Chain A
């Protein structure tokens, strides 16, 4: 069955970066895009960006200067990196399959704190 498993740190210091790996199974990254969404108490669900099945990316303009999404189709892995983190980046970060966000990862809870 379809699964998206996320790995990444839970605590990051201000100004540092966040890296999350989303390892997928049950579908091919050449057939579906993978989107990234975060959820914080203050701002609800917020779409961050997508890597399309063909490998191109789209980013939320609010994050374009500090966000990077890439993938390795052969390893079924998608890589998310956000730089220059601040306290208001504290949130749960999710990867999700397809434009209708058909299936979601379990979430990575990030706290930005010194």
Chain B
């Protein structure tokens, strides 16, 4: 199985800051990576698919980049409502696998 590694379990940031979350795949997954946001008590919500494509209705402060094994998710100007856990996931091959999540904390 492909292992997706998010090296930071927690990240602390302030409103207006730029923050980036990284995700590393254990093997080449091309650009088949998605990023999800999960707020407490809610289902995960797709933000980015195929590494860099923003899903419908997602604000443009959210961006994704990368290919192969290294991927980055960036919030260009953090808002208070961005408090959440962010997960990467590879959809290159089954079993699809997720990173362990990065909890974004707002100072």
**A residues apposed to B, CB below 8 Å:** 35, 44-47, 50, 58, 60-61, 94, 99-107
Contacts and interface: CB of A to CB of B under 8 A. Distances in A.
Contacts of B36: 101
28 contacts: A35-B96, A44-B87, A44-B98, A44-B100, A45-B89, A45-B101, A46-B98, A47-B95, A47-B96, A47-B98, A50-B96, A58-B95, A60-B94, A60-B95, A94-B44, A99-B96, A100-B46, A100-B50, A100-B91, A101-B34, A101-B36, A101-B46, A101-B91, A102-B46, A102-B49, A104-B44, A105-B43, A106-B43
B45 interface: yes
B97 interface: yes
B23 to A, nearest CB: 13
B79 to A, nearest CB: 22
Contacts of B100: 44
A50 B89 contact: no
B72 to A, nearest CB: 17
Interface residues of B, number: 19
A102 B89 CA distance: 12
B55 interface: yes
Contacts of B89: 45, 101
Interface string B80-102: 00000001010100111110110
B21 to A, nearest CB: 15
Contact of B45 (A44, A104, A105, A107): A104
A101 B45 CA distance: 8
